[in-house]
Chains A and B, each alone.
Chain A
């Protein structure tokens, strides 16, 4: 299994994502520079967090024009999984591969803290190994993570089971206090219609080893591995 971790100018969670892929999950992977235009030989793509292009203009707004993003579009159209984390989620929204937009936190400040995530469905390459009642405790670190979309889009996402994760409190309730950025309907992560492209603001790659205080994020990557194994088995 071979995972591509994209690297844009000023991606800064690229090495963290690759660390988890290689050293925690034991998979092969490498950084793919944004000026490359092939993803041949890769089974999945992670678009990591950071401040691609310094967040200038708007988060993700410039990165979406990088040569690699055209390739990612084709890669995703072929059904392969693509996961955007934090800035990666923002880039996927800007690229139109995911619905909605991520706007400034309601607090108007950057927020770095741990949050609880409720997983709404196991029906996705990134959630199938997460036990139904399990709350994930993951760190967030963003200034623009408030998920925003019109009501029709939100209803559609909800009805189609495409809201993958919501901010919750320790009991699993979707409260206003548990929502760190003002995201509508406490949305922390969504997927596309085909369910193979997903994005979330929290950082599972920062919570995949107990030494860092939580290994809950690993469930997201293990879901991806299980899904890919299944896909490869079916293809064989």
Chain B
């Protein structure tokens, strides 16, 4: 089969501009071959090259004394957690594949991120997921949204459960903007000792290059390029072949075998074949080491007969790894991979030419300077222009919003609103207790895992028996970001940091997934630019360096672009296990204290701009979202952590969507003791002190930032309130734990809700929607 002639049309089909094509010719000093054209097209896709976002990403804080491997250096960042231990973590998207084939799209997203982690030499110990879909209860697209939602959740469950990784936290939002373009962001965290860090560098000319894992097929051809353009009506049919098929069983074996091999010290470089498969792994490992690499494609295990060099290089078949071994240590690779019954092949050598040379039956089909291919992708500064819709957003006033006629009913509506309702329908399908480390399971503000000596990869030095407690959360309220990208992005980070503080943890680092629309649309690029500004500022404020992440642009379907969704996963350290604090009320008679302001009087929207109440009860997604004062937030988090460390606090729950009323209700109903066995704890609340300062619906459901509901034993209340005042944090006693219901009083108004009813609405809302 001869390669097609390279025409401008073919170049265009590869998503390369005429200017980019000229640059390729400049690098090569000649016309590219068909295989080379394919290689450049995937390496210079947004997914692999960040060509539209690189200048923005450079503004993130990426350093701290704890950062051992920083952003962009390797497949994932690594952070020191003390005592010679470290964690590797990263978030990545699989949005487009999941839109086309939700089950496999999501499953392979999990597989890909797990490989990024064990590639670093770390043992993967937990996963998170951040998901967005169109509305599921009703509407013209609801049936399809339910299909996508159900498919994605079972795909994540399928892959993660079989691999044996606890999926321990996450978030799910439903909004019309995600109809046709769901978001599937998956996060993985692994553990290792400092000396176990592995590098993706092809060091040492003459060293053998091994391919391990299942054979290469035609599945997933050019998935990275597919991820880097808009979804169209035809996407589902045309691109199904770009979706890979995952095999978690194979991944588990590859992971165990790689960790076993890394313990032998025979490996000089290792990289997974993720996006852009063999292409990306060979040229990046050579570029990192400043070496060259030469491979022979006829030696690559192949699933289908007659595969062309183009197909072999661009395939994204899953669960494959590239491993560079010290010359003379080949037998160890063979011994270990044979033990695990895994295919392996010696496919090439490291060279000192600086070139990536690909041969097929001896004939050269690609010969490219590796560093130029990997690191010199074109960089663009797309035009940015403030979106026109923001004018109306800023002008929107609360005066035009009718007062709530029945706040008691509103609370019930909000608790059953799928974005607020319990996500147990999701996480009960994920194994979240495997690996004996799940200390705080899904359903609290942040999850907490325990890291123990036997969490580590094999070969870890003895004496590493110190236990560590890591808190994790992933957050993003995209409505805020849509209405004010800068402020909204700050809030995403602040909320994540607040969730960590509620669990008793201080931030170690962040990984972010920038899900945005087409960067060539100036208004959408402005959203991206402003969001990055907010994220960077907030990450600095909380000492959370960004250690890596993912950009997913082109998130738009024929229905339009998604709301800008920069999801932020934050990882924190808890010093002692006794500091781990749940979100639910504990003991009758405990006093409930609000840390932070009941109402932000400087916010003309009183916390209702962009709020869930406005969306759910008034059908409006508008108004300027609440302001985020980073200094105030920091003060609050430090104060809260100090209280927790002194043992003054029994529970802490962050106020977010749905405001005070929803946070209070969740504190009463969110402890699940066992199947069909919630622990319901009542509370009597009095908000009369603020009843005159704002309308009732704003007081109950406004989403003013920087607030946490804590409970403390009566004897400790004075200490909490006094110390908070000294530290400059507003603290007010607002109620008492106890009784069989939740009551909230605000001036003349009083609401009463039986706990069982609130629990049923909140706990079963998603299951009900999925059954409809």
Residues of A within 8 A of B (CB): 9-10, 12-13, 15-16, 18-20, 23, 33, 49-51, 53-56, 109-116, 137, 139, 141, 143, 169-170, 177-178, 180, 203, 205-206, 209, 211-213
CB-defined contacts of A206 to chain B, threshold 8 Å: 433-434, 436, 438
| A137/B674 in contact, CB under 8 A | yes
Asked if A10 meets B253 with Cβ closer than 8 Å, knowing A51-B161, A113-B675, A116-B674, the reply is yes
In the complex the two chains form, what is the Cα distance from A83 to B71 in whole Å?
46
Check: B163 CB closer than 8 A to any chain A CB: yes
B247 at the interface (CB under 8 A from A): yes
A15-B435, A110-B429, A112-B427 in contact; A51/B677 too (CB < 8 A)?
no
A19, A112, A113, A137 — which one has the most chain B CB atoms within 10 A of its CB?
A: A112
The 10 closest A-B pairs by CB, nearest first: A12-B164, A54-B249, A114-B674, A141-B431, A51-B162, A16-B436, A139-B433, A10-B252, A113-B675, A206-B433
Known pairs A109-B429, A110-B161, A110-B429; A177 contacts B434 (CB<8 A): no
Given A111-B428, A212-B438, does the pair A50, B249 have CB atoms closer than 8 Å?
no
- On chain A, the residues within 8 Å of B157 by CB distance are 109-110
Nearest A residue to B441 via CB reads A213
B439 at the interface (CB under 8 A from A): yes
Evaluate contact between B433 and A141: CB separation under 8 angstroms.
yes
List CB contacts (< 8 Å) of B216-270 with chain A: 247-250, 252-253
> Is the beta-carbon distance between A54 and B677 smaller than 8 angstroms?
no
B interface residues, Cβ below 8 angstroms from A: 154, 157, 161-164, 247-250, 252-253, 339-341, 427-436, 438-439, 441, 450, 452-454, 577, 672-677
Assess the A170–B677 pair: CB atoms within 8 A.
Answer: yes
Query: In the bound complex, do residue B429 and residue A211 qualify as a contact, i.e. CB atoms below 8 Å apart?
Result: no
Known: A169-B676, A211-B450. A56 touches B431 (CB 8 A): no
Query: Are A212 and B439 in touch, CB under 8 angstroms?
Result: yes
Contacts A15-B435, A20-B436, A111-B429 known; 7 new A-B pairs at CB < 8 A: A9-B252, A10-B162, A50-B164, A109-B428, A111-B428, A212-B439, A212-B450
From residue B436, how far is it (CB to closest CB) to chain A in Å?
Answer: 4
| A54, B162: Cβ atoms closer than 8 Å | yes
Chain B residues with CB below 8 A from A18, complex form = 454
- A111 proximity list for chain B (CB < 8 A): 428-429
What separation, in Å, do the CA atoms of A206 and B250 have in the docked complex?
25
Interface SS, A side: mixed
| B164 contacts across to A, CB distance below 8 A | 10, 12-13, 50-51
B439→A211 contact, CB < 8 A: yes
Asked whether B428 lies within 8 Å of A178 as measured between CB atoms, the reply is no
Nearest residue (CB) in A for B467 is A211
- Determine if A56 and B249 form an interchain contact, defined as CB atoms under 8 angstroms apart: yes
User: In whole angstroms, what is the CA distance A59 to B636 when docked?
Assistant: 50
Chain B residues near A180 (CB-CB < 8 A) = 675
- How far is it, in angstroms, between the C-alpha of A13 and the C-alpha of B161 when the chains are bound? 11
Q: In this complex, which of B427, B431, B577 has the most chain A Cβ atoms within 10 angstroms of its Cβ? A: B431
Which of A10, A16, A116 has a CB less than 8 Å from the CB of B435?
A16
A141 / chain B contacts, CB cutoff of 8 Å: 161, 431-434
Q: A16 — nearest CB in chain B belongs to which residue?
A: B436
CA–CA, A121 and B340, complex, Å: 41
Measured CA separation A54–B161 after assembly (Å): 10
Within the assembled complex, what's the spacing in Å between the Cα atoms of A116 and B674? 7
For A108, the closest partner residue in chain B by CB is: B154
Chain A nearest CB, measured from B584 CB (Å): 13
Residues on B with beta carbons closer than 8 Å to the beta carbon of A16: 434-436
Given contacts A9-B249, A170-B677, A177-B676, contact A19 B428 (CB under 8 A): no
Which single member of A9, A13, A56, A137 contacts B434 (CB below 8 Å)? A13
How far is B467's CA from A209's CA once the two chains are assembled, in angstroms? 13
Name the A residues within 8 Å of B450 (CB-CB): 211-212
Name the residue in B250, B428, B430 with the highest tally of chain A Cβ atoms < 10 Å from its Cβ.
B428
Per the bound structure, the CA–CA distance linking A112 and B676 in Å amounts to 13
Closest A residue to B164 using CB positions: A12
Q: Is the Cβ of A54 less than 8 Å from the Cβ of B248?
A: yes
Name the residue on A nearest B448 (C-beta).
A211
Q: Given known contacts A10-B253, A178-B675, is B162 in contact with A55 (CB within 8 Å)?
A: yes
- Point out the residues of chain B lying under 8 angstroms from A113, CB to CB: 428, 672, 674-675
CB of A170 within 8 A of CB of B431, answer: no
